[in-house]
Copies of this chain bind each other. A is one copy, B any other.
Amino acid sequence: MEEKVMNIGIVKELTGLSERQIRYYEERKLIFPARTRGGARRYSFDDVKRLREIHEKLKDGFHTFELKTMRPFKSV
């Protein structure tokens, strides 16, 4: 579940989030997709799971900078 194999389009469908949101969470250092040679992001199923958790927390009123310590996340 850690293999980075999905492009952002599929992640969008699986999470229901916008590309903007997905990229923003990365900008905030909450998610770490891999990159193809061409620069396209690649996510794992674990990433999809994490994106859902992030969005849930934000809906609960937390801020991205507070989520960085939300849970230890194994680095790529």
A-B contact pairs, 8 of them (CB 8 A): A5-B5, A5-B6, A5-B10, A5-B14, A6-B6, A7-B7, A9-B36, A10-B42
Copies in the complex: 2
Interface size class of A (residues with CB under 8 A): under 10
CB closest residue in chain B, given A48: B5
Best-surrounded residue of A5, A7, A9 (most CB of chain B within 10 A): A5
| Chain A binding surface SS class | mixed
Chain A residues engaging chain B, CB cutoff 8 angstroms: 5-7, 9-10, 14, 36, 42
Min CB distance A58 to B, Å, is 24
- List B contacts of A5 (CB < 8 A): 5-6, 10, 14
